[in-house]
Structure 1
Amino acid sequence: MSRSNIPEKLARLGYAARGTVYLIVGGLALVAATGSGGRATDSKGALQDVLEAPFGALLLAIIATGLLCFAAWRLAQGLLDADRLGRERQALIRRAAYGGSAVIYVGLAFTAVSILLGHRTGSGDESARDWTATLLSQPFGPWLVAAVASAIALGGFAIARRGWTDRFDRLALSPAARNWAVRIGRLGFFARAAIFLIVSWFLMAAALHANSSEARGLAGALKSLQQQPYGWALLGATALGLFAFGAFQFITAAYRRLDARSTSDALAKIEAGVQEAVGKDGRRSGQPMTDD
């Protein structure tokens, strides 16, 4: 595949932007765990820290662009099957997860733009409490929150399973380098899985007690680890894992084999799919198909 493939380059920029966010979140939490300052923060806090750095506005603009690119790549993986996963049940579940990830990173990109424009954005914990309160106010609200908590827990188990079983064969590395990359990746995936499960635990508590104030986001999950016995060790291990996940994103950006189609190929596939769907509708309705 030509290195001039624009979608491929945008996907690599997206992985790098995602890695930057996780490096900041993990790095700050790791410093907090050692008692040298720092704090447990989330993705929004990481983006705010970028703005306060030298040339922060430029860096944040690049990261926002990268996050949008990553969201577009996730859509390509989910809708266009850029990774050639197929249509078996497990593949469709994974592709659906990519679609959900795209929505999340679009939101994070717009958060970066809002910070860049000087608008106030609430923390992840505040957002978690707000939407939990909204769900709790609906009919069967606690059940809705419990369902979301269960879905997040399942996502955590899926991430842990991938970290344990995935051989990361798409990385174009030598065997020795791949071994190190796999170890870094697995540590990162396990840390992310732990965060998902902790967030799910707090949401389930919010559902059981019908109390939105018990909901937590990423920052709240990290702080809860710090408050446990030997919290410095728990927070340090998780922070190291998140930092490793960020580093793994940069490895992915540099060495992942991407099957991204060129823009013209992607548009052609979309057009072919639309024509096929229209053709099926026309055949079902018994109407002849004509070219306009």
Structure 2
Amino acid sequence: MTDKATPLGEAADAAEAVSNTKTLDVVARAGFAVMALLHIVVGAIAIALALGQPGEAEPTGAIEQLAANAWGPALMWAGMVACIGLALWQLSEATLRARHLPTKERIGKHISSGFLSVAYGSVSLTFGGFAVGLPGDSGESTRDVSAALLATPFGTVILSAIGLTIIGIGIYFILKGVRRGFKEELFHFDGSRRGRIIDALGVTGHVAKGIALILAGLLFVIAAAKHSPEESTGLDGSLKALREHPYGPYLLLAIGAGFICYGIFALVRSRFGRM
């Protein structure tokens, strides 16, 4: 008896059919657009930091900036719904659609799309917190979690593993950018001027995001090595630490510009991406 002939297989097929609805597709694309906007704002904040201005160069700081304008409450609710839709779409990618893939590809999809589902779900919770008047501080939350982990017997190992995982994701983004692996996600514009622009945005954006993630992961590893939770301050802390080095502001400017490029690329992904 094949897997599809079982009640479980039939239920999975029905759930997959639901996940392929136009409504989820539209909401997930809106989620990509929201994430694109956040990357553009984070990039602008990083550039401002390089120029000596205050700010929090991470998603919570970007959401706080968006919440401060006249349309803030509406944007918060819309962002929450869009990111929930994107998280659900990634979850369906990791589970329902991944079951049709060969074993090696299926495992990779479980890991990549599963991680993204959790990440987008976390962003949706941040939007929801601002929507109901409960803003958060990503750096402070990261330090609290790190302190709680280091207080446990295996906390150093776990925190190191978190840092190394983030570094690994950063390396993945760099390789994806250099190898132009992002082209698989798009309906291609090969050979056209528009295609060359999208290609340049994809390479620059993925490499810049990868570098930023590696820096953030290193802070977790350092915090674990020193048994010092205040060292783990997430993306914002890593970029601010970079500012203190002699050539740090120039690299920070480049990373900020790269995040803006990634954001523009993600906007293209939201419109022309394969779903």
Q: Tell me whether the two structures share a fold, i.e. TM-score over 0.5.
A: yes
1:99 aligns with 2:86: no
Structure 2 portions without partners, runs of 5+:
1-19
Superposed CA RMSD in Å reads 2.1
User: Highest Rg: 1 or 2?
Assistant: 1
Question: In structure 2, what is the equivalent of residue 145 of structure 1?
Answer: 159
Q: State the Cα distance separating 1:31 from its structure 2 match.
A: 2.9
Q: Which residue number in structure 2 is paired with residue 251 of structure 1?
A: 268
User: Which secondary structure state, in structure 2, belongs to the residue aligned with residue 168 of structure 1?
Assistant: helix
Give, in whole Å, the separation in 1 of the partners of 2:228 and 2:138.
Answer: 17
Q: What residue in structure 2 maps to residue 56 of structure 1?
A: 72
TM-score (norm. length: structure 1): 0.80
Residues 1:233 and 2:250 aligned together: yes
TM-score (norm 2): 0.85
CA distance in 2, matches of 1:149, 1:85: 32
Q: Choose which of 86, 104, 117 in structure 2 pairs with 1:70.
A: 86
Q: What residue number does 2:33 align with? A: 16
Give the structure 2 partner of residue 44 of structure 1.
60
Structure 1: how far apart are the matches of 2:77 and 2:49?
27
User: Which residue does the alignment assign to 2:144?
Assistant: 130
Q: 3-state DSSP class of the match of 1:54?
A: coil
Distance 1:167 1:25, change over 3 A: closer
How much identity, in percent, do the aligned residues show? 24
Query: How far apart are residue 85 of structure 1 and its match?
Result: 7.9
Shift in Å at residue 227 of structure 1? 1.4
Contact 1:14–1:70 (Cα < 8 Å) also in 2: yes
1:181/1:88 CA distance change after superposition, 3 Å: farther
> Does the CA-based 8 Å contact 2:182-2:202 persist in structure 1?
no
Q: Deviations over 1:142-197 (max 9, x none)?
A: 12211221222111111212112215134224322222112101111111111221
Shift of 1:90: 4.5
Q: What is the distance in 2 between the residues matched to 1:232 and 1:95? A: 38
Q: Provide the C-alpha distance between the structure 1 equivalents of 2:156 and 2:21, rounded to a whole number of angstroms.
A: 51
- Counterpart code for 1:47: I
Q: Given residue 71 of structure 1, which amino acid in structure 2 is its aligned partner?
A: A
Deviations 1:12-33 (A, max 9, x none): 1111011111111111222332
Counterpart CA distance in 2 for 1:242 and 1:18 is 11
**Are 1:24 and 1:46, in contact at CA under 8 Å, matched by a contact in 2?**
yes
The aligned counterpart of 1:109 is: 124
- Residue 235 and residue 74 in structure 1: after superposition, are their counterparts in 2 closer, same or farther (change >3 A)? same
Large movers: runs of 4+ above 6 Å: none
Could you tell me which residue of structure 1 aligns to residue 184 of structure 2? 169
Using the alignment, how far apart are the partners of 1:133 and 1:168 within structure 2?
40
How many equivalent residue pairs?
Answer: 253
Structure-1 separation of matches of 2:51 and 2:143: 29
Distance, in Å, in 1 between the alignment partners of 2:66 and 2:58 is 13
1:240 deviates by 0.8
State the SS of the aligned residue for 1:257.
coil
Cα distance 1:104–1:147, how it changes in 2: closer, same or farther (>3 A)? same
Task: Decide whether the 8 Å contact of 2:212 with 2:235 is kept in 1.
Answer: yes
Long gaps (5+) in structure 1: 259-292
Output one character per residue of 1:196-220: Cα deviation in whole Å (capped at 9) or x when no partner: 2111111111111111111121111
Contact map agreement 1:171 1:178 (CA 8 A) in 2 = no
1:215 pairs with one of 213, 216, 232: 232
Q: Are the equivalent residues in 1 in contact too, given 2:186–2:269 (CA < 8 A)?
A: yes
